[in-house]
Amino acid sequence: MSLRLVKPMRAHKRLWKELREDFAQAGETHIPGLGSSKTFRAFLRNVRNYARGKHIPKGHVPGDTWFLMDENGQKILGAVNIRHGLNEALLVCGGHIGYSIAPSERRKGYATQQLRLALLQCRAMGLGRALVTCDKDNAGSARTIQKNGGVLEDERMSAEGKVFQRYWITL
């Protein structure tokens, strides 16, 4: 299957709602790459603001959001956020890339492809290497990062006491 990253646009409203419902049915409230917007209009506004570096909450950095779409553009399989830079918190947990795959679409290899496509975007942005982190207990995410060339640097604890693994990927 040929997957691609697509910038969110108004035409994706129904697909965005379906994606959020997929996460809700799985009991997941924090969705990496999608933010916390309750409406699609607010989501698009936030995507534009983050990309432009405007109206960004304290502690956040500018970034671009992309949807991982199936080859027909009929389903959003996941979302990815590529941050333009890092702050102290992102150096511990978060890194340059935050991503998620819809719960109903997991274990199909989509995360590996999504991260590969996100890394191509990082290279196009001029990054020489990218930091990608995951929860220490998320073996699937660790494998995804490793398949994309991730080299474990270390493990660090977040302010909330959660342990994160930190991988660097040379672009």
Give the model confidence (pLDDT) of 44-63 as tens digits.
Answer: 999 999 999 999 999 899 99
Task: Map out the domains of the chain with their CATH numbers.
Answer: 4-170 (3.40.630.30)
Residue 3 main-chain phi, psi, to 5 deg: -105, 155
* Per-residue pLDDT tens over the stretch 58-102: 989 999 999 999 988 899 999 999 999 999 999 989 999 999 999
Render 67-135 in DSSP notation, one character per residue: EEE-TTS--EEEEEEEESS--HHHHHTT-SEEEEE-GGGTTSSHHHHHHHHHHHHHHHTT-SEEEEEEE
| Reported confidence tier of residue 143, pLDDT bands at 50, 70, 90 | very high
From residue 169, alpha-carbon distances to 21, 71, 101 in Å are: 32, 27, 20
Q: For residue 150, give the 3-state DSSP assignment.
A: coil
CA-CA distance, 169 to 171, in Å (whole number)? 6
8 A C-beta contact, residue 82 and residue 125: yes
Residue at token pair 């199936």: 70
Residue at token pair 């996941």: 78
* Per-residue pLDDT tens over the stretch 12-56: 999 999 999 999 999 998 887 788 888 999 999 999 999 999 999
